[in-house]
């Protein structure tokens, strides 16, 4: 309503009707966009709440040492016939098994790890190989190391009085050296003795 305007245009009522219609149109469009955004938030919120964002794989802590993937003889580095390199490790207070891990440079390496007693974690040197290890869950990620040589692998989740002294080592071998060792099909590690 523009009745108080000092000099209304001759067709003031007509142009007002047009602008009111345009405003209403835009109001409906904006409300539809807001409704759509709210709907997206609700749907994704419920979706992610009912389904965690990453794949969750569980493992029974009680039988970890006696059967299945994480028995001691299956830990370390393996190369599948198709060339996929997998490292399996277990963290416990206060060490990693194996203590020394061999990996090839410039090849994708998949880590699969879990913990037996408390929440542990590890990071390999300054690489992006970094994960938490939680009892009952299998942590897994794939990464590629580019620098050869030995890296320290400390536990980075406070896990008790021995946390400070809990660390392993990772030896990154040139791919050809690794492949010549891996062809035997055995579990590789660089633990001495």
**Which residues form the interface with ligand CUA (CB under 6 A)?**
91, 94, 120, 155, 157-159, 163, 166
Name the residue nearer to ligand CUA (CB basis): 163 or 187. Answer: 163
Cα angle vertex 45, ends 44, 46, to 5°?
Answer: 95
Shortest reach from residue 167's CB to ligand CUA, in Å: 9
DSSP string, 14-68: HHHHHHHHHHHHHHHHHHHHHHHHHHHHHHHHHHHHHS-SS---B--GGGTTTSS
Name the residue nearer to ligand CUA (CB basis): 153 or 159. Answer: 159
Q: What Rg do the C-alpha atoms of the chain give, in angstroms?
A: 30
Reference 105, options 91, 90, 124; nearest CA is 124
Shortest reach from residue 154's CB to ligand CUA, in Å: 8
Are the CB atoms for 91 and 133 separated by under 8 Å? yes
Are the CB atoms for 89 and 98 separated by under 8 Å? yes
Shortest reach from residue 79's CB to ligand CUA, in Å: 28
Shortest reach from residue 113's CB to ligand CUA, in Å: 12
Shortest reach from residue 38's CB to ligand CUA, in Å: 43
Name the residue nearer to ligand CUA (CB basis): 91 or 102. Answer: 91
Lookup result for tokens 């709210």: 38
Name the residue nearer to ligand CUA (CB basis): 75 or 159. Answer: 159
Are the CB atoms for 124 and 151 separated by under 8 Å? yes
Name the residue nearer to ligand CUA (CB basis): 26 or 158. Answer: 158
Tokens at residue 1, please? 């309503």
């Amino acid at each position: 309503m523009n009745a108080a305007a000092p000099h209304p245009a001759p067709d003031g009522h007509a142009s007002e009707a047009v602008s009111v219609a345009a405003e209403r149109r835009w109001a409906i469009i904006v409300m539809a966009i807001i409704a759509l955004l709210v709907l997206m938030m609700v749907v994704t919120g419920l979706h992610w709440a009912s389904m965690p964002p990453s794949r969750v794989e569980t493992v029974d802590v009680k039988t970890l040492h006696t059967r299945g993937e994480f028995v001691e003889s299956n830990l370390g580095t393996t190369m599948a016939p198709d060339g996929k390199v997998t490292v399996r490790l277990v963290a416990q207070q206060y060490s990693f098994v194996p203590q020394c891990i061999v990996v090839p440079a410039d090849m994708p390496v998949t880590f699969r790890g879990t913990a037996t007693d408390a929440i542990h974690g590890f990071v390999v040197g300054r690489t992006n190989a970094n994960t938490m290890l939680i009892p009952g869950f299998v942590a897994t990620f794939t990464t590629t190391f580019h620098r050869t040589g030995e890296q320290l692998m400390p536990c980075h989740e406070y896990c008790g009085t021995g946390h400070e002294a809990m660390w392993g080592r990772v030896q990154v071998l040139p791919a050809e050296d690794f492949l010549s060792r891996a062809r035997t099909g055995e579990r590789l590690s660089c633990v001495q003795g």
